[in-house]
Structure 1
Amino acid sequence: MPAPARFLVVLDADSTLIRNEVIELLADEAGRGAEVAAATEAAMRGEVDFADSLRSRVAALAGVPIEAFARAIARIEPTPGVRTLIDAVHARGGLVGVVSGGFHEVLDTVAPDLGVDVWRANRLGVADGALTGEVDGPIVDAAAKADTLREWAAAHGVPSHLTFAIGDGANDLRMMEAAGLGLAFNAKPAVRAAADLVIGPVDLAAVVPLLPR
């Protein structure tokens, strides 16, 4: 049985937990970084369906060797203040989760290194040592993000009003609505407009004063 927690903080990964968009790092390996970056930006603004956009962007990765994961991980930049925030959550008896439209193949290294307790992301299809250009399994979209926040809260006995969601893109909006407090961080205009609070500096330590004492 999962251990109880006083409260729950759930972050998006790309451009929130970390400064990077991992799919763009992987697309660089295929020489399609600029193309995929433009498509990612449109998805984060909410201009296109996230799942459809993700499938098309992942298709651009077909043939990229799995060694690209290690190269992508080496380029990851944690967001300023992320360790301060995670340490503060743990010091106050809280739990840190990350739910991402990105990929387990990278998050499985980055999340534990940063002290994240639980995480969920998409998985990439692999065959013969290279990416197939397909997503393996159900896509973690906006609905899945909101469901995951609720599932983790229920599993750890956290009431909904003591849940926090931090995100930057349109696919974070339902998760932010499901949380007791939805925080826009490094966010697109539509996300800032819908959030309970907007974090101004790109520094996750700014969230610490909002946590339960």
Structure 2
Amino acid sequence: LLTNQDDVLKQLSQYEIVVDEHVRDLLVVPADVEMYDHALVQSSHLILQDKASCFPAQILLDTDRPLRHLIDACSAPGNKTLQLAAGLASGAKLTAFERDRIRYNTLCRRVAQAGAADRIETRCADFRSCSPRDDQFADVDAVLIDPSCSGSGLSGYRVDAMLQNATMSEGDIQRLQSQQIELILHAMR
């Protein structure tokens, strides 16, 4: 959102970075290149995310119909939200829900750092609590649902991913399954 692919490639020309063949605006960084502390990442000009985590947003963006209003039902920390915002046409609206206050604050900070506050409306609320019949959602074209704990976005990296991939109990798995089903059913109303 703050730069373009050509500028990033120029600034990273010392590395063997290539443009991904499947996901729009995705760059493939060699595994031995540490990018977390790079100025482009720290300034939100470059967002680190593994390829598999890019597919849900990419699939929504690749539709043939116009996308005027999207909802990201479980937004934090915001990688897919920012990917969606970058791919939407001018004037399109993205509403990003996050129910956890701490994760919501992270989402808001990242949206602001990426210069996307004018494209993304953030809400600290459980998506399941919004009424699909409310006029403000009458024009929603699509809903992205990727609940937390179903993937790290950068599996195998840093403390966040290690905590997220901690062993889950049978009860945790059942609660996650129930939450995912509830989110899908709510989005289909």
Q: TM-score range by the shorter chain?
A: 0.3 to 0.5
TM-score, normalising length: structure 1:
0.30
> Which one has a larger percent strand, Structure 1 or Structure 2?
1
